[in-house]
Structure 1
């Protein structure tokens, strides 16, 4: 849509950013309030591989952080355009402050309980089936352990990750957005400057800039929602310090406590039991949704031992190393490093997790393929069909091990560290990202691998085989962990403005009508990727804004009645 350049252009709600959070917020609110006008503003038009916003971000640690264009996508649907579809729920431990978090957990378990009621709405949008994330909740799912001999205890195997189609929110909801009569989609515009707040903190106007022409348009809205992802939502707030005029200064936590996840492989597991009884790959829910198990650690154990929440799941050996002797893996590795084909098979960050950016021993890989024929080609062909040619796509590739040996992939919480931050450069435009791993982050990963090893041995289920010497583990983790995909912390939720940036309803402290709906509001990162939980917050925000509108109208009606009574 093209907006007229005459003023004013007015809406009841303006949502900035059209990723999953923005789309869910806009569609839910528009449906709940059919007489209210909603504007959805998106920077990109179509799929943009390179753009000015990404080019104006400076990453100070490229070892542990992906470049911006690998982390986010501009255009309708946002980063869901390259999302793998994994839907994981946060755990109660993520909402409990612990000494290891250095007083950095600024939300609480009451909020966690409240958010549960919005999981069905999020699951509907993500198309990941019922929001059941435990094997016990699904009647048609096998209750057998992940491997023969495993027992539940301080280590668990009953938590599930669920998978969407994967749902590309742009393609999936474009028609719904365009047919929603009270919802306007505006593509190719950047949110720039908010107007000065009144004495109550209410901001009435936002200036947006057309990306192609640099023309400025001034919009007015009853409320504004920043759903432009952690980087851009944070940058907009950093650039608009004027909105905090009534409180004197921006919240001290703004831009700070940036977190992601530590992720990688430092060990394999060798199970003792029957390889055919090992639950190494995906299962199907009764509705056909793919689900998968993972090792996790009980909340009580994590609290008592002051360790970070971590998930560990069964994985394939490193693709790039032909020592695995799998013809199918070598075939897929060579396909991934083929320049044109590789880009079509997976987005850059996921491709990097498979190839590690290495072209390694091509001859040995070809040898694996020849020795493994015809399976070297047939297995990838079946996988290719299930992954690219079906409606509900196979989410990933996990190959059976007749030796009952699997690599272990860890995905670990990160400590809210003030030095990890986003800040503006002197030009007021460039976003600088400082990001590093702390010794405590790394130490927790190592300790929990040791815990898993001991638990499997005690169960007589199996044992871990480390890939590095003990004195090499810390540096190995530090060099292999690379995030920037799961961005949280920079606009965190808190009960007071001295500890956070938004309140529990996602309203920015010091303002009356600006909200943030981004994973940047999560003060802890947990073991889960943040996408699904963000969807629940988006659904909750749409309802909250609706209730605010109802209450406002009720107050206006009551005041009118009081005035009428006084007049009579």
Structure 2
């Protein structure tokens, strides 16, 4: 039960969901407005059961390409950051340009990106990922270096980087900050249910929440409500509350539609021709100790002119489950990952699946690899374990040096905004049914950009690609390997009108004056980037926008 102090209080801001977006928005707003009262509501609780009613009421129609909700999201303070890898990536300019291939699905504008950039320093502080510099050309001592010998920058670039957080587990990291903030109240174990109807000015006065243990309904009063419950739950709440749109001629047609993630996997390796010791295959360290890493990307002009989707490709290890890699260290780590109990402690389900692909195979050959490469088979994993689990600034991942200068290539590609990819309520009006598929455009773009990378590397004498599949096998191979549902965007997309989107440029739900959505579901395009860092920037921006709005009233 909530206290009488909470149930009878009129809060200035009520935030639903305590993942990274909810925590950042709550702390940023509370700190900037010490005389305002903020309420942060979380569904999960400490010591919660392994199953919950929200995830149990999600139906995935395509389990081949979409993770189960228990593999993709988390409940409790900190939300999905509890199993987040820590990769911080910025969206690119091309993601804000309405290209032909997007079928008018890009409903935000480049000026929004330019505005967002001013909030990146505060965002980077929350994520503890170092300076928010994502292009090494802005760093004099690194701008002239390259990923491998003879690489030439042009339509393919190696200067865009991903940065890495501690990784920040927001629940653990910010629990004390939340508790110590005098004007911020945190309650857990409550499900957001029903909003009151907007009045003539579009103001919504109350939100009904349900105690997940007692099932008792309580009402929360606030001047402003923010849905920061993740894409699935923020979308489900809006779908379940059609009265919010009564001031409009109809419910926004895009609500729940245009669901996107990323097409991801490996179909080729790169063979570099230069000195293996000069290849930047792994992590680089910034002056503050934070990690960052290069990736191949393609120029905006090239993508637009060739009608292709934004894609990042980075150096990776061979497939762990295939003992043909002949690496004792990789075989040791693969066997550890598929070992019950131990494997679950080493990595969350979705990341574990990306390594093992759910396969248990070649066990004798893996043991032979380990034996043949002793003592390195044990020393290398031990060193990685210390850096990854015992240091405060943890090693974000595992990338092993190749004496042959040969590396697998991991692609991470944008999807077309497709109305058939959607979230909708089932007949019971409670179950969230998720329809998700890969389009031909998604797959063809991945293949064409691999060919582009191959031609570019060959032209400079830097290297070449070796495909793992015959040309005619590539489309089906990509369909069979790509699995997302972790990066959820598009279902409450931002647009200039309710005819095209669900929220406006300030994340205000169309038809209301005081309900906002702070979730990656507002992103109209998925780009090549993981959405978490940009969402953090939107959370900072929303806190500042609401502060200015209050000052002007």
TMscore range, shorter length? over 0.9
For residue 296 of structure 2, give the secondary structure of its aligned residue in structure 1: strand
CA distance in 1, matches of 2:62, 2:290: 38
Q: Which residue of 2 aligns with 1:64?
A: 65
Native 8 Å contact 1:387 1:393 kept in 2: yes
CA distance in 1, matches of 2:6, 2:492: 34
Query: Are 2:15 and 1:19 aligned?
Result: no
CA distance in 2, matches of 1:434, 1:74: 22
User: In structure 2, do the counterparts of structure 1 residues 118 and 466 end up closer, same or farther at CA, with 3 Å as the change threshold?
Assistant: same
Q: Deviations over 1:27-74 (max 9, x none)?
A: 011011101110000000136532110000000000000000111000
For residue 246 of structure 1, give the secondary structure of its aligned residue in structure 2: coil
CA distance in 1, matches of 2:292, 2:47: 29
For residue 342 of structure 1, give the secondary structure of its aligned residue in structure 2: helix
Q: Which residue of 1 aligns with 2:257?
A: 256
Query: Are 2:229 and 1:224 aligned?
Result: no
Q: Which residue of 2 aligns with 1:561?
A: none
Native 8 Å contact 1:271 1:404 kept in 2: yes
CA distance in 2, matches of 1:533, 1:47: 30
Q: Which residue of 2 aligns with 1:107?
A: 108
Please give the root-mean-square deviation of Cα atoms over the aligned residues, in Å.
Answer: 1.1
Native 8 Å contact 2:256 2:491 kept in 1: yes
Q: Which residue of 2 aligns with 1:3?
A: 3
Q: Which residue of 2 aligns with 1:565?
A: none
What does 1:282-301 correspond to in 2, within 5 Å? Answer: 282-301=283-302
User: In structure 2, do the counterparts of structure 1 residues 5 and 545 end up closer, same or farther at CA, with 3 Å as the change threshold?
Assistant: closer
| CA displacement at 1:2 relative to structure 2 | 3.1
CA distance in 2, matches of 1:311, 1:273: 22
Native 8 Å contact 2:226 2:515 kept in 1: yes
What does 1:393-472 correspond to in 2, within 5 Å? Answer: 393-472=394-473
CA distance in 2, matches of 1:179, 1:446: 51
| CA displacement at 1:257 relative to structure 2 | 0.1
Q: Which residue of 1 aligns with 2:37?
A: 37
Count of residue pairs the alignment pairs up: 552
Q: Which residue of 2 aligns with 1:375?
A: 376
CA distance in 2, matches of 1:250, 1:234: 13
Q: Deviations over 1:458-506 (max 9, x none)?
A: 0110100000000000000001000000000000000011000000000
Q: Which residue of 1 aligns with 2:195?
A: 194
Native 8 Å contact 1:141 1:285 kept in 2: no
| CA displacement at 1:138 relative to structure 2 | 2.8
Q: Which residue of 1 aligns with 2:46?
A: 46
CA distance in 2, matches of 1:488, 1:320: 31
User: In structure 2, do the counterparts of structure 1 residues 7 and 42 end up closer, same or farther at CA, with 3 Å as the change threshold?
Assistant: closer
TM-score under structure 1 normalisation?
Answer: 0.96
CA distance in 2, matches of 1:461, 1:291: 23
CA distance in 2, matches of 1:367, 1:451: 38
CA distance in 2, matches of 1:46, 1:472: 47
| CA displacement at 1:140 relative to structure 2 | 4.9
Q: Which residue of 2 aligns with 1:94?
A: 95
For residue 41 of structure 1, give the secondary structure of its aligned residue in structure 2: strand
Q: Deviations over 1:501-527 (max 9, x none)?
A: 000000000101000000000000000
CA distance in 1, matches of 2:6, 2:37: 18
TM-score under structure 2 normalisation?
Answer: 0.99
Native 8 Å contact 2:137 2:143 kept in 1: no
| CA displacement at 1:196 relative to structure 2 | 1.2
Native 8 Å contact 1:257 1:421 kept in 2: yes
| CA displacement at 1:142 relative to structure 2 | 6.9
Q: Which residue of 1 aligns with 2:498?
A: 497
User: In structure 2, do the counterparts of structure 1 residues 6 and 104 end up closer, same or farther at CA, with 3 Å as the change threshold?
Assistant: closer
| CA displacement at 1:418 relative to structure 2 | 0.3
Native 8 Å contact 2:157 2:299 kept in 1: yes
| CA displacement at 1:5 relative to structure 2 | 8.7
Q: Which residue of 2 aligns with 1:213?
A: 214
Native 8 Å contact 2:16 2:192 kept in 1: yes
Native 8 Å contact 1:238 1:254 kept in 2: yes
Relative to structure 2, which stretch is displaced further, 208-217 or 42-51?
A: 42-51
Q: Which residue of 1 aligns with 2:168?
A: 167
CA distance in 2, matches of 1:142, 1:545: 38
| CA displacement at 1:7 relative to structure 2 | 5.5
CA distance in 2, matches of 1:109, 1:216: 43
Q: Which residue of 1 aligns with 2:82?
A: 81
Native 8 Å contact 1:140 1:285 kept in 2: no
What does 1:484-563 correspond to in 2, within 5 Å? Answer: 484-552=485-553
CA distance in 2, matches of 1:20, 1:138: 28
CA distance in 2, matches of 1:143, 1:70: 41
Native 8 Å contact 2:61 2:436 kept in 1: yes
Q: Where in structure 2 are there 5+ consecutive unaligned residues?
A: none
Native 8 Å contact 2:81 2:168 kept in 1: yes
Native 8 Å contact 1:5 1:217 kept in 2: no
For residue 186 of structure 2, give the secondary structure of its aligned residue in structure 1: strand
CA distance in 2, matches of 1:213, 1:140: 60
Q: Deviations over 1:244-289 (max 9, x none)?
A: 1111421111000000000000000000111111110000011111
Q: Which residue of 2 aligns with 1:391?
A: 392
For residue 423 of structure 1, give the secondary structure of its aligned residue in structure 2: strand
Larger radius of gyration: 1
Native 8 Å contact 2:152 2:460 kept in 1: yes
Q: Deviations over 1:387-418 (max 9, x none)?
A: 00000000000001111110000000000000
CA distance in 2, matches of 1:104, 1:3: 45
